Amino acid sequence: MLVSKDAIAKAVADMKGKSEKRKFNQSVELAVKLRELDLKRPEARINESIELPTPPSKTTKVAVIAGGDLAVRAKNAGADLVIGREDLDKMGRDKKQARKLAQNYDFFIAEAPLMPQVGKALGQMLGPRGKMPTPVPPTAPIDDVIKRQRRNARLKMKDQPVIQCKVGTEDMPDEALVQNIQTVISRLESKLERGSKNISSVSVKTTMGPLVKVATTQN
């Protein structure tokens, strides 16, 4: 299954044309249906993050788990939430709060020495969602790390052979959306055992808009 740049561009234009204007800036979502995969094999399941060429204009929410100087620098760098060691322990005892945290934040960064504590307190909530934190040393340039995380898209396969991820927002230029979509598809092809032959279909949609299929050719 081959997906051309022109086909993606046409689908993006059609998607915008069919999407009703809402009172909020809708996300643009990509859905890639896969085929001929044995999901019982762990290596066949995809679960990773990819840095997009153009970050979505709707801010990706990043939480940092750290203490001391790293926590201070994370706050100054604009982290959406900074969680200290004490707060981490509290969340570990409050499953409702931990679940809310896992749902409301897209990516997590943790000071490396705190990772065992993070696993104990939040692993049950973050692990299944593919949101376990990226560990960084206490001296990490946290502002750069946060900026990279905001450019990320999460590629995660659950129980079905489908990858769904946010690739931008409806106010972004078509060309930027096309490049982001191409980047995701290219990464998927590199991870799949049979490359593009494992791709069955590709579609795009806005948050509340209809699904628009991308024209593809057999390979």
**Which strand ranges, in their side-by-side order, compose the sheet holding 27-34?**
162-169, 27-34, 199-206, 212-213
Residue 22: partners with Cβ closer than 8 Å, 6 or more residues away: 207, 208
Give the CATH class of 62-150: alpha beta
List, for residues 4-63, the tens digit of each pLDDT value. 999 999 999 999 999 988 888 899 999 999 988 877 776 667 878 888 998 876 678 899
DSSP of 163-175: EEEEEEETTS-HH
What would the two tokens of residue 189 be? 């092809």
What would the two tokens of residue 16 be? 């915008």
Could you please state the CATH topology (level 3) that the domain comprising 5-57+152-213 is classified under.
Ribulose 1,5 Bisphosphate Carboxylase/Oxygenase (3.30.190)
- Kindly tell me the burial class for residue 144, based on how many C-beta atoms sit within 10 Å of its own C-beta (0-12, 13-18, 19 or more): exposed
List, for residues 100-128, the tens digit of each pLDDT value. 999 889 899 999 999 999 999 999 899 88
Domain with CATH 3.40.50.790 in the chain: 62-150
Domain with CATH 3.30.190.20 in the chain: 5-57+152-213
Q: What is the pLDDT of residue 115?
A: 95
The CA distance from 165 to 119, in Å, is 25
Neighbour tally for 64: CB within 10 Å: 29
